[in-house]
Structure 1
């Protein structure tokens, strides 16, 4: 399915014309059609949502190769595949993108891709806007911390898949009932909805801060006490009995409270916080840091199980995160 049909800004079957347009618009410096009887049938759509730009693109039924250089900007580009698939090299990392796996591109990193029967929907995201939104969500000074996302997005995971659904919802809204509407308040609310889901659901270096203080949920006192205990002693041994005693309520009450607020049991929440902190430490790793040391620090005694849980949570292995920082 293609999106933003009422916002088409370019259509061509001419490769040279396409390359010139994409070079000006998205800094794609090379695009080639591959294979026998190679051809392109390119369609580009664009719609502004406050200071975020939604982009749709389809490249026809063939195979294409495109390259983009590193760009001196702090912006990111979020991309979800509607149809087809591609093999992407994003800096030093290579992985497949498909309807099950998206991409968060760091524009400062060069990218090349070979794409087959490809169409996608994406969003151009100014990092300054995302940092301001993170500050609004937490009320905390987070501007000293770099905002870093994992490049690969696992759409099969519920949280990350929800970001895709949110982007599709907004694209359908601006192409349908909100088409032609110039209401800055409504557009800003759609922008904020997208940013909140991206920051809260996709693997990034702000997750620990963001999930430390949910801004929209009234916390029962016993949940807040247990949550604060987890955050204070996440690098120490914590048992369920410790949380129940500190919270001052029964196990069943605490379990229901955590499920209502966080959608998970208290010990699962503890595991999530530890994974997030391990993730942040790997992102900011000092020379000599090893995955095993980080895992042990945050209570994961078995390196294999830690790597498995980390990969499920962030979509990449801990060793891949560590390599990215060096």
Structure 2
């Protein structure tokens, strides 16, 4: 998907940004002029945009979304308010990394232009899960600022310059979907591997080491029986070891107990069904399919994992279809 917008109406800008990054409200002071240009392209689960504005305005989230927004300023300053207490100044040379699960607001007073990445957090979870060999959920907690003049930040900014070539009317790179896909994957890998976040220590302290065979057998057994009422003893027998050894193996290599790990796998399966299953199936039916009997607990755990209630997840479309 690709489109561009040029206009001066705050409500129209609200509609455009809501379609691309999630529910936002754009406001401007009364009796003031506004000019806003927005160019957008989606490449799988990573989208890229360029925004240029003249005049004072604020862009605030109306609701939580499971996405990561990375702002790469080109010109002008903006104040970013994050949650109730945190804030930062977004200026050229510094990226602002915003978690859509924490409500934020961008306040602009003068001329401003920036590039941005919008990344589905599911893509980040998949990368982390593969690296750590275990399901990953919850807040990622990236550090909110990144120096764009050196190291990983400089590479990220150069990648953004390449992605910016997708936005022109005659951009040839947009006709190369595999190239866009690889660029998107590289951006996610770069962020996860180099920018500090809640799972950085696990990645650097050896939790990524390959699991021993008995742990792999246990995981394979779980995947094959996700919707079945299996017990710890069943898992241990399938792995060919005792329950205590199984618990120790999972604690060492998966960072969770076997039962917690199984619950995480089932939550992932329920999440996939909520996004993709036949809409005639209710949330309760999907939850029961994957072994969740207490709906209140399921809804609470789902929200902790994905940043929204399961009923809202049913209404969401993949980013590329926005």
- Shorter-chain TM-score range: 0.5 to 0.7
- Deviation readout 1:141-178 (Å, 9 max, x if unpaired): 25257422122223344222322222222332575664
Cα 1:63/1:78, change in 2 over 3 Å: same
Cα 1:118/1:75, change in 2 over 3 Å: same
Contact 1:69 1:109 in 2 (8 A): no
Q: Structure 1: how far apart are the matches of 2:114 and 2:104?
A: 16
Superposed, 1:58-137 pairs within 5 Å as: 58-60=52-54, 62-71=55-64, 73-91=65-83, 92-115=85-108, 116-136=110-130
Q: What TM-score results when the alignment is normalised by the length of structure 1?
A: 0.55
Question: Is 2:26 aligned against 1:30?
Answer: yes
Shift of 1:129: 0.8
Q: Structure 2: how far apart are the matches of 1:128 and 1:205?
A: 16
Structure 1 counterpart of 2:184? 191
Cα 1:171/1:208, change in 2 over 3 Å: farther
Q: Structure 2: how far apart are the matches of 1:99 and 1:118?
A: 10
Shift of 1:213: 6.5
Shift of 1:98: 0.6
Shift of 1:63: 2.4
Q: What TM-score results when the alignment is normalised by the length of structure 2?
A: 0.56
Cα 1:165/1:110, change in 2 over 3 Å: same
Shift of 1:111: 1.6
Contact 1:70 1:111 in 2 (8 A): no
Superposed, 1:215-294 pairs within 5 Å as: none
Shift of 1:209: 3.3
Structure 1 counterpart of 2:38? 44
Q: Structure 1: how far apart are the matches of 2:103 and 2:132?
A: 34
Q: Secondary structure at the match of 2:126?
A: helix
Q: Secondary structure at the match of 1:165?
A: helix
Q: Structure 2: how far apart are the matches of 1:151 and 1:128?
A: 19
Q: Secondary structure at the match of 1:59?
A: strand
Q: Secondary structure at the match of 1:203?
A: coil
Structure 1 counterpart of 2:49? 55
Cα 1:33/1:144, change in 2 over 3 Å: closer
Shift of 1:88: 1.4
Question: Is 2:158 aligned against 1:162?
Answer: no
Residues paired across the two proteins, number: 204
- Deviation readout 1:236-282 (Å, 9 max, x if unpaired): xxxxxxxxxxxxxxxxxxxxxxxxxxxxxxxxxxxxxxxxxxxxxxx
The CA RMSD measured in Å over matched residues stands at 2.9
Aligned counterpart in structure 1 of residue 6 of structure 2, from 11, 19, 26:
11
Q: Secondary structure at the match of 1:147?
A: coil
TM superposition outliers: structure 1 runs of 4+ over 6 Å: none
Cα 1:109/1:43, change in 2 over 3 Å: same
Contact 1:33 1:65 in 2 (8 A): no
Superposed, 1:143-162 pairs within 5 Å as: 143=136, 146-162=139-155
Gaps in structure 1 of 5+ consecutive residues: 1-5, 216-326
